[in-house]
Each structure stands twice: as structure tokens, then as C-alpha cells.
Structure 1
């Protein structure tokens, strides 16, 4: 084995961000990449890394994996991210979103390794967005509460960690089962299906390529602290879908604006989040892609994934 290469462990490697990270990291010759998820490998890229299945709710299995791999860096993307799932199974939510993060933090503190942990705009209540990193958290749902708690537990380990909060991640990768706002809206409108889209929730959507780049920048700079990573344009979810429809020349009349209260999201989703990105730009060199430009990149990527 090449002793000069640093080992990076990607958790949640079957997930949306995890797969995008794999694509980028396997082409970086100075890293040895280890990928892990609970299930079998679903990555579009099949070579250039080692894959290990691991159930992160099993602390012994997690510790065994860490002792086997001895990563220099961990990018922890694995999470239970459904608001409803976290509400319905709080015990599992705690194991996945809090306890596993704490275990990773303890390992990194013990061996002086570096950890990038993914968090969310849902740690805020959406009443004062856009937010800086030091704004007081006040989550309004179980998912947000678990991610806020994960940040606190992780920092208590005193490990070297960069916590990257992000917002409404979108884009395309090679997994046909993976969807997001852009792919969902595009597919529904192309099939002439009417869609209900919330008009009174505002976000700064994040291009998955940008988020993956931010994770790698955090690794390369061995950054520590909290960083806000998102797009730079504030828009309602409805406006985002209108952009998507217009870009692919799809029928806007199929889009039905609704309010958060109409679908029971008035109180359990933040109304307006958004991030102030100055710290990430200055410290990491983060450069978000404009929303329309990202749609052009997605269109080009469809051919790469045979979509």
C-alpha cells in the first residue's frame, strides 16, 4: 500500500452526496478511498475504491470498520433525513443522527483524525433567515433537533471537525432511484403530470457538485468549525420549479401553487432559511454555481449517466 496516500472514509456512500463524492475522489490520486453504506454498493462508479457494508446503528460494527480502515479523514454523509421518519421512529433517529456521529467524533479525537460532518438548515426555525454560522439554532422538527444535537455531541468530543450545514440539495448522479427537487419536477412535467408546489417556503438550493467540492475543500484545508454551504440565490420552492420548467421548456400550467399549511408543513418546516456564505468563501474558497448554470451542467451530465 502507498504510505503517502491519505485514506478517506465516505459514509453514506450510496446516498446522493456520497455518490457524487465518490465520483470526484476516485480521480484524485493522492487519496485512498473507502466507501461504506448499510446496503450493497449502488455506486455508478465501480472502480478506484474499496467498498465495505456497515450498519452504523451497530456501534461495535462501526468501531470494527474504523479500526480496520484507519481513515485519516472521514466525510460523514450518512443520515436519517426524512422529517416524517424521524418523527415516527425517534429511537432510530437518535441512533443514526446523533449516536453514530458521536462515535465517529470519539474515534477522530482518540487518533487525531479529521472529520467532515454534514448538517442542515433545519437546525434553524426559519424566522430570521438567511443565517450566519453563529446564529442560535432553534429547530422546529425532530430531524432538525437531531442534527442540532449531533453538532453539539460532536463538538463535545473535541475532535478536529468541520460541520457543513446545507440546504435542499439537488442535481444528478448515476443512481436511478435517487431523486430530488429538480429531477422530480422535470420528470413529472415531462410526463404531463400536474404537481403541487409550495409557494411560501424560501430556500437557497444547493447544487450537489458544489457541496461535494466543499467537502473536499474542507478535507484539504483540514478546516474546523461550522460552515454554511448552499447556493447563493434565495427563492421559493415554487420559483425554483418555475426555473426548472422554463429551462427544459415544460408546461408551467401543470404547476399548482399551494401553501405549507395545505400540506401540514406550516409548523414543522422552517419558512425561510438561506445562508450567508462569507465564511465558506473566505476560509474554504467555496464558489457556488448559479442555479441556471447548474441546470445546464445537469443537462450535460445526463449523457454521462445514460439518463
Structure 2
């Protein structure tokens, strides 16, 4: 059943992130009432104050420490921000819609070279993904009106954003004729603007549940193919070659497969995510304007 989003109050966390940047732009066009002030999600009294004063219809909880290596070195801080903030949030909500931003990385390495479905085995290999999965479990066990979105490899937002993988590759292309990339890691490139649009449709249709949310692809995308596509679609001539093992040293045991298919969105006929190459091309045109 579809409803109107005009006038709905949307509380956002993680407002300085790539995803929220596009959520804010899209939802302003839809005439939603947005709470976009930054606040510390570890501050329980702030949660209480904002929820009681703003009275949101929807809370989009995107705030998190997302640096996987930092989380490995600082597990207490990771769980404090990524997990305990969820407990504090739910404590003051009644039955408002929660949209929790999670990650396809929570599946770990339970599948070698194919897409994960929402029903696939979950086996986090990093502290960050443990914190996300623990949050998912807490929400599903203690709340009913929720949407959990497991996102793929995000790109989008301002080209100056420090988490912007596309911008990092374009910067490398201006500094060297050769770019090294991992040809063994696979995933699902995912455009933040498409995710924002998907969230919009989930809200107006009053959907609940757990959903993978990534741009479409016929097969999992290697990191190297992703990088080559950025270079080719930008009409650049850099050579992209496979990196040797351990070329990119990490503190975290990052899963080699973070690819996923939007099975549950397809099942309810509400998969609004575009093909990843179309979205990548759209984004490259946008930041080149």
C-alpha cells in the first residue's frame, strides 16, 4: 500500500556521509521534513531529546565507524558507536520506522564466487561486520517496524568525500599511468543516489524486513573490473594491472566476496536499483559537470 512522503519527518544519522548526502538531496525534493543536524549517536540523552522534540516518523540510522582497519585496532569504540547506539535509539522509539544501514560484508566468506542472498549463511570476518550483524540481531529481536539494508560497495556523493572510491581512482589516474588493483576480490558496486531512491520507495510502500541493496549485475564484479570501468568510462588511458598478493596490506580480514543479489526486493517487485555500469556512468557524468 503506497503512502505519501510529503510532510513525513525523517531523522538522519551520519549526515556527513556519502549516503546521507544523496538522501538529503532526494528527500528535500519530495518535501519531507528532515532532521539533518549532526549529533553524537553515543549520547543517549541526545537521542532522547531529539526523538521527543522532533517526533520522527522514520529514523534512517546510517552513522557508523566504517574504517575496517580502525575497527580492528579499536574494537570497543567500534561496538560503542556501531552497536550500542542502536540500543540507545530503540530505547526511545515507540513504533516509528527504523531503516538501519548494514553491509553485504556481514556474509563473510561463506560463498566463494557467487552472489549472496538474504538467506545465505552469515559469518562476519571483521570487527566492523560483527558490529553490524550484532546490531541487526538486536533490532530484529527487540523491534518490529524496521528495514535492514545490506549495501554493496558504495560510491557517490561529493567527489571530494574521503570515502569516495571513484574519486580515489581518478586521483590515482592523474598521478600514474599504471594502477594496481585486486583481481580476486569481488563485490557489488552500489550508487548512493540509487540507494536513496530505493529507501524512498520502501518508505512510501510501508515495507518491513531485511534486504540486500546493491546495483544489479549479471555476475559478481571484481575490484579490478570495477577500476577498469571507472577508467574506461572516464575516457582515460591508464593501464590497470593485477596487484600481487598482500600488495594492499590490511589489519582486518576483509572478505574476498561482498557481492549480493537483491532477492527480497525482487520478491516484492520493488527492486529500484539500476545496472551498476549505468549508475557508474551516470555518476561520472554528474561529477564531471
Same fold (TM over 0.5): yes
2:3 aligned residue? none
Q: Does 2:200 correspond to 1:216?
A: yes
2: CA distance between counterparts of 1:274 and 1:160? 27
- Measure, in 2, the Cα distance between the counterparts of 1:260 and 1:125: 19
Deviations 1:235-289 (A, max 9, x none): 1000111111111121232x34214533345970111231121311332612322
Q: State the alpha-carbon separation in 1 of the partners of residues 201 and 11 from structure 2.
A: 15
Deviations 1:104-158 (A, max 9, x none): 23333xx211110000011111231411112221000101111010101111222
- In the TM superposition, what is the alpha-carbon distance from 1:78 to its structure 2 partner? 0.8
| Aligned residues of 2:172 and 2:179 also touching (Cα < 8 A) | yes
Name which structure has the greater RCO, CA cutoff 8 Å, separation 6+.
Answer: 2
1:213-292 alignment, distance < 5 Å: 213-233=197-217, 234-253=220-239, 255-259=240-244, 261-264=246-249, 268-283=253-268, 285-292=270-277
SS of residue paired to 1:226: strand
Aligned with residue 153 of structure 1, among 132, 138, 157: 138
- Matched residues in 2 for 1:63 and 1:269: separation? 35
Residues 64-213 of structure 1 aligned to structure 2 (within 5 Å): 64-108=49-93, 111-128=94-111, 129-171=114-156, 173-174=157-158, 176-192=160-176, 194-213=178-197
Q: Which runs of 5+ in 2 are unaligned?
A: 1-5
The alignment partner of 1:270 has SS state of coil
SS of 2:247's equivalent in the other structure is: helix
Deviation at 1:197, TM superposition (A): 1.4
Give me the whole-angstrom Cα distance separating, in 2, the residues matched to 1:212 and 1:58: 26
For structure 1, list consecutive stretches of 5 or more residues without a partner in the other structure: 36-51
Match of 1:13 among 12, 15, 21: 15
Count of paired positions? 280
Distance in 1 (CA, whole Å) between partners of 2:234 and 2:159 is 21
Structure 1 runs of 4+ aligned residues shifted over 4 Å read none
